[in-house]
């Protein structure tokens, strides 16, 4: 059996489920590095990254060797890819720019097996740990998958924000996130994440999740926001940056230390 979802596990243990993102690097060691760093889940970015289906399948297998669950972010225009992505052993799907109940229902329909949705049945594969369930699929595998594969929609527009309470009520939606850059831009306060207008939007999203028993995923860009969003009710916290920014920041810091030491002894530096 494929491992249970690490986001569910963290929440059940009373912890915050901490997440990071991948949009550039896809080698076999990356999942182990992410696990060793203390994260619970990783978002593989299909929306803004360049990962194709075969790369996603490779990453899914490598993440299954760790205790870190992988989810994939797609734009809503690629909703039809959800079943194929999940059949690779991915443990969650995050769909961006959901504006309406109908769009959320379409996501749930593709991501969940009956009686919740209409995800097509594929037999042995990475998603089943290459076990065959046959006629027992509906009674053994499907209930486990419906509970463990997290279906997340992301609010990124004024229309989505206006409909968030109804979206949160959709059966088969497990978690609601928000795109902090897009949503703040559409609110007229781009990346002013301490602005009262943006804070009010986050509170509204979390309140909708609480009202309907769904997980709220906060994008905590500062240490203060980590505490603030947890106390607000975000049990899942996406921490700032991706593999790109993490690698870039680390290299910059190392080069800066080296240049500072060289400059101190009179060596020309860039």
- By annotation, the residues acting in catalysis are 48
Bridging pattern class, strands 175-178 and 17-22: unpaired
Query: Residue 135 burial (CB < 10 Å; 0-12/13-18/19+)?
Result: exposed
**Angle between the N-to-C axes of helices 223-232 and 196-212, in degrees from 0 to 180, rounded to the nearest 10:** 40
Q: CA-to-CA distance for 218 and 117, rounded, in angstroms?
A: 26
Cβ neighbors of 36 (< 8 A, separation 6 or more) are none
Give the CA distances from residue 249 to residues 18, 39, 196, 254, 255, in Å, rounded to whole numbers and listed in that order. 20, 18, 29, 9, 10
Question: Hey, what are 29's tokens?
Answer: 């060691």
φ and ψ at residue 37, rounded to 5 degrees: -80, -10
Q: CA-to-CA distance for 86 and 57, rounded, in angstroms?
A: 9
The single residue listed with the structure tokens 């009262």 is 196
- Number of other CB atoms surrounding residue 121 within 10 Å: 13
Q: CA-to-CA distance for 145 and 1, rounded, in angstroms?
A: 11
CB-side neighbour CA atoms (13 Å) of 206: 19
φ and ψ at residue 99, rounded to 5 degrees: -110, -30
């Amino acid at each position: 059996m494929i491992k249970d979802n690490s986001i569910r596990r963290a929440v059940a243990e009373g912890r915050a489920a901490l997440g990071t993102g991948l949009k550039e690097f896809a080698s076999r060691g990356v999942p182990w590095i992410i696990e060793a760093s203390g994260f619970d889940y990783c978002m593989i970015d299909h929306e803004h990254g360049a990962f194709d289906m075969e790369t996603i399948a490779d990453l899914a297998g490598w993440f299954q060797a760790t205790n870190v669950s992988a989810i994939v972010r797609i734009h809503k225009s690629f909703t039809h890819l959800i079943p194929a992505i999940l059949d690779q052993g991915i443990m969650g799907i995050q769909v961006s720019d959901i504006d309406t109940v109908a769009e959320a229902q379409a996501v749930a329909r593709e991501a969940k097996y009956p009686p919740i949705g209409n995800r097509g049945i594929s037999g042995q594969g990475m998603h089943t740990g290459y076990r065959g369930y046959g006629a027992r699929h509906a009674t053994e595998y499907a209930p486990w998958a419906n509970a463990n594969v997290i279906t997340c929609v992301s609010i990124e527009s004024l229309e989505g924000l206006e409909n968030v309470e109804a979206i949160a009520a959709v059966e088969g939606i497990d978690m609601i996130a928000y795109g902090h850059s897009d949503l703040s831009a559409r609110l007229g306060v781009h990346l002013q994440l301490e602005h009262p207008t943006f804070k009010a939007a986050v509170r509204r999203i979390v309140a909708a999740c609480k009202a309907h028993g769904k997980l709220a995923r906060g994008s905590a860009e500062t240490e203060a926001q980590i505490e603030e969003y947890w106390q607000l009710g975000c049990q899942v916290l996406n921490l700032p940056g991706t593999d790109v920014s993490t690698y870039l920041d680390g290299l910059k810091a190392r080069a800066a230390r080296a240049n500072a030491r060289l400059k101190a002894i009179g060596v020309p530096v860039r």
